[in-house]
Amino acid sequence: MTQELSIQASENVKQWLQDPSIDEETKRELEGLSDQPLELEDRFYKDLEFGTGGLRGVIGAGSNRINRYTVGKATQGFARYILEQHGSAEGTPSVVIAHDSRHFSPEFALEAALVLAGNGITAKLFPSLRPTPQLSFSVRHLGATGGIVITASHNPPEYNGYKVYNAEGGQLVPDEAEKVISYIQQVDSFAAVKRLDQQEAEAKGLLVWLGQEDDDAFIRTVADVSVNREAIASTLGKDFKIVYTPLHGTGNIPVRRVLEEVGFTNVHIVAEQEQPDAEFSTVKSPNPEEREAFTLAMKVGQEIGADLLIGTDPDADRMGAVVKNQAGEFVVLSGNQSGALMIYYLLSQLKEAGKLPSNGAVIKTIVTSEMGATIAEHFGAEVFNTLTGFKYIGEKMTQFEKTGSHTYLFGYEESYGYLAGNYARDKDAVLASLLICEAGAYYKAQGKTLYEVLQELYEQFGYFQEKLESRTLKGKDGLAQIQAKMSDWRSNPPQTVAGQAVTQVLDYSKGLDGLPKENVLKYMLEDGSWFCLRPSGTEPKIKVYFAVRGDSLDDANARIQKLSDEVMARVDA
């Protein structure tokens, strides 16, 4: 059965087939793959890696797949970490658990809860799908020791994932994750995973089901971030036409509740995408970064004459927005454009109300546009850069909260993740949906569309343009190709690109600017443009980010096209 496999894969297959902890159905599934050595190799050539964000992988049997066994093993390691962190504190440590609409998400969430219970940790579990940002909020709101969310964000349907959170409600940063990883690696067999059955866990009070009051607290807290609530409730919310698609995910109920809570009453839902669907059957990808995801929303928007279309990804931590240009055509805003609009709206309204703090701070990542930073600095806010991943923004927020050095105003990533307010430590598409709708309604009352406001921002702050290219390279060979490409760019940096001299190479694997070490390369050009290469932490991709600032939009578009064409020619070679 394993003659054509690598030594590592062969050994892993043998262990699974001989392990009495593995159920017979799983063993039969593996035996049925005996004539598919390539499939077995991919399932077993390594253990599914627990990165700084947790696990993410294809669902199925195998050490390099996400399943109840890999989830249980990860939870056993996390349980030990929780118990170590809890130390001698009084009471029982607790972990809040949420899940999205994907295949096996409820089962994996319950499995994690029962393993925690087996380790004497109270699992507080949502009974049905909830957004990732609500998990982050609930960890803080309930004073829990940690959190787990079962989701693969906007990955294809065959994926699922497992993310862990600290007591601050943020995803684990590298030093925390390294401890958890070391504990997971010490779980030498699935028999070492401690687990109670559901009935016993409930009877001992170690499995607690969360309810309506926990949902209500989240909705109220998000709604309180509104900066023009009275105006929305009295007039603006009735006249502003919104089309919303949850893309078959967790956002449907909370987004609609928050919009209604603040006063938006003209909200139209894309019926075909309203209900949870693990196959995401109406879209190629449930990703609000992509225009195709809004095909049905655009149809509804055209029919009703919508002012704004919004969509959230399956776990409702990313929000995409679609506006109309002067020709009446739908335009999907980039994450950078939506971020710039929200920063300008939020900070200008706080200033107008006399509520803009003198020590305000905006946090963004190193691959996010400088346009939002320029706007923030215009309003006197200090801008901080972090590595890619909202966990780093959350970590910075916690630093501000503990030291009082700055007042957090807004944080965002180019990948459609935003947060205003201090209630969570992860990006929140529920809040972003509220904020972009509120901005749209406010400017509509002034006779402007969000598209027109964006053009005004370009004129005032500069013609910034950004672009993201990615290449998917799956499996063992793909991983090797990605590593080889990064090594080539690192050891052979270009001297000039697109007619511009490379003035600086920032290799973040060395730990620049006090940031953790990460496999990221950023090249600064003499005209202020830059591009950045980064392997994805959640998908088998290498991502390449580009940013320019031109004299006009046409000039900026020409610059970024020339830059991306030249860089990608080498990446693809």
What is the predicted pLDDT for the residue at 331?
A: 97
Q: Which residue is catalytic, options 10, 105, 153, 334?
A: 153
Pairing of strands 122-125, 94-99: parallel
Give the position of tokens 């965002």: 412
Residue ranges of the chain whose pLDDT lies below 50: 1-2
CA distance readout (Å), 455 to 119, 252, 347: 56, 31, 18
User: What type of residue is 195?
Assistant: R
SS3 269: strand
SS3 449: coil
Taking the C-alpha atoms of residue 332 and residue 403, their distance in angstroms, rounded to an integer, is 39
Give the position of tokens 């950078």: 336
Task: Report the candidate in 262, 258, 319, 257 with the shortest Cα–Cα distance to residue 286.
Answer: 319
What is the predicted pLDDT for the residue at 536?
A: 86
What is the predicted pLDDT for the residue at 52?
A: 66
What is the predicted pLDDT for the residue at 496?
A: 97
Q: How many CA atoms lie within 13 A of 193 on its CB side?
A: 28
Give the position of tokens 């109670």: 196
Q: pLDDT tens for residues 379-421?
A: 999 999 999 999 999 999 999 999 999 999 999 999 999 999 9
Total residues found in the chain within this entry: 573
Q: Work out the burial of residue 99: count CB atoms within 10 Å of its CB; fewer than 13 is exposed, 13-18 middle, 19 or more buried.
A: buried
Between the two ends of the chain, the Cα-to-Cα distance in Å is 37
Taking the C-alpha atoms of residue 327 and residue 525, their distance in angstroms, rounded to an integer, is 35
| CB-based contact 322:270 (threshold 8 Å) | no
What is the predicted pLDDT for the residue at 260?
A: 98
What is the predicted pLDDT for the residue at 316?
A: 98
Give the position of tokens 């497992």: 162
What is the predicted pLDDT for the residue at 1?
A: 44
Q: pLDDT tens for residues 412-468?
A: 999 999 999 999 999 999 999 999 999 999 999 999 999 999 999 999 999 999 999
| Residue 161 β-bridge partners | 56
153 is catalytic: yes
Give Cα 345 to chain centroid, integer Å: 23
Q: How many CA atoms lie within 13 A of 179 on its CB side?
A: 14
User: What type of residue is 89?
Assistant: A
Give counts: helices (H), strands (E), the chain: 20, 21
